[in-house]
Amino acid sequence: MEYSSEQFRPDVALERFIEKMTVLRERTCEKIPYTTKDGVYDDNSTLAKEKSFGIGWWTNGFWAGMMWLLYHETGDSRYAEIARFSGEQLDVCFDNFYTLDHDVGFIYQPTAVADYRLTGSADGRRRGLHAATILAGRLNPAGGLIRAWNDWGDGRDTTGWAIIDCMMNLNLLYWASEELKDPRFRQVAMLHADTAMSAFVRPDGSVNHIVSFDPETGELLTSLGGQGYGEGSSWTRGQAWGLYGFALSFAHTKKQAYLDTAKRIAHYFISNIPEDGRIPVDFRAPSEPYYEDATAAAIASCGLLEIAEHVPQLEAAMYRTAAVKLLKTLDAQDCDYDPRTDGILRNCTAAYHDAVHEFHIVYGDYFYLEALLKLKGSDFKMW
């Protein structure tokens, strides 16, 4: 069953989102949230007495990212004030250094870079370029890959690991190249994207989450299941990262192979959307137990709408229809617009084998908002 835009009112969903945020932002103005407990946001900010994942956690840019998107949409300066607070707290990560890894794009593009692009902040530009330099420094020329994570201290050698998620972090490098008129950042990004095309994306459009390379030679060693069901499975958030990430790499470079890859992943994703539009954690997991991941639906919808901007009109309609189906389901089944509780998107899952599933995660809200704004035709591109 296909859903048309006439059956889903993204303008109404956006209204309800903003209505809740005008209340929620004041309860959260000195927090950097990741998830909720008993309907209340946790806090990863430096002001928190108890931190759940710490100031370097990879999701710490998404609250500010929502604030910048809403500032651009509404013109309300209060959103900018709250967003900038997050950006200032994140400076401690540069001082610590060890907390930063391949996810600096997720942390600093929706905070520092957004601040610079929307307000001309010199501090935002400095922070964004600092983060881009750190990310570029993670390139391993042997194999052309950006290393994922740092040492975990559990005995595993992760030196040669790379992950599909990093396709989204590459956008920080594209921005740095455009900002400085310096091709080296773009070249690092494209080396990684080229490696990801050949090593992560399977012929049918499904993707690996983690791929291990020999860090000395660049030889591909094996793929790992990561946050999905297992090796060879199809972790849906990874599918969404790849779908959106390759579409954005095309937008920045115009390399046709990136758009073709994004479309191949998109076709696989679309063909596996269940009738009810709710996305499981892994397309290849057993039917029981069933875990939903609403974040995968939100991210994929952004990617599908991005692809639609780069293809002919008739082809674009297919991608927009699939995105609207996902967003319609999120709005009807997974959104909590009650201003008395924190967070909006429910039924999010970080990893298949985690002990807890189907809870609120802040980046689900972020990408849901971004998708609604894309449908509306917003002229601001975060990535």
Residue 93 contacts residue 99 (beta carbons within 8 Å) = yes
Rounded Cα gap, residues 295 and 273, in angstroms = 14
Question: Which residues on neighbouring strands pair with residue 211, listed in sequence order?
Answer: 162, 223
The tokens for 64 are 């500010």
Rounded Cα gap, residues 273 and 297, in angstroms = 9
Rounded Cα gap, residues 298 and 346, in angstroms = 11
- Strands 139-140 and 145-146, how do they pair? antiparallel
Q: Which amino acid is at 254?
A: K
- Strands 40-41 and 139-140, how do they pair? unpaired
Residue 83 contacts residue 72 (beta carbons within 8 Å) = no
The tokens for 63 are 């609250």
List the catalytic residue out of 42, 43, 103, 334.
103
C-alpha distances in Å from residue 140, one per residue of 130, 143, 144, 218, 378: 19, 7, 6, 8, 37
Strand, coil or helix: 335: strand
- Report residue 113: phi and psi, to 5°: -65, -40
Give catalytic status of residue 293 as yes or no: no
Residue 98 contacts residue 142 (beta carbons within 8 Å) = no
Residue 310 contacts residue 251 (beta carbons within 8 Å) = yes
List the catalytic residue out of 42, 165, 334, 365.
165
N-to-C CA span, the chain: 31
Count each helix (H run) and each strand (E run) in the chain, helices first: 14, 7
DSSP string, 158-223: -TTEEETTHHHHHHHHHHHHHHHT-HHHHHHHHHHHHHHHHHTB-TTS-B-SEEEE-TTT--EEEE
Give catalytic status of residue 91 as yes or no: no
Which residues does the annotation mark as catalytic?
Answer: 103, 165
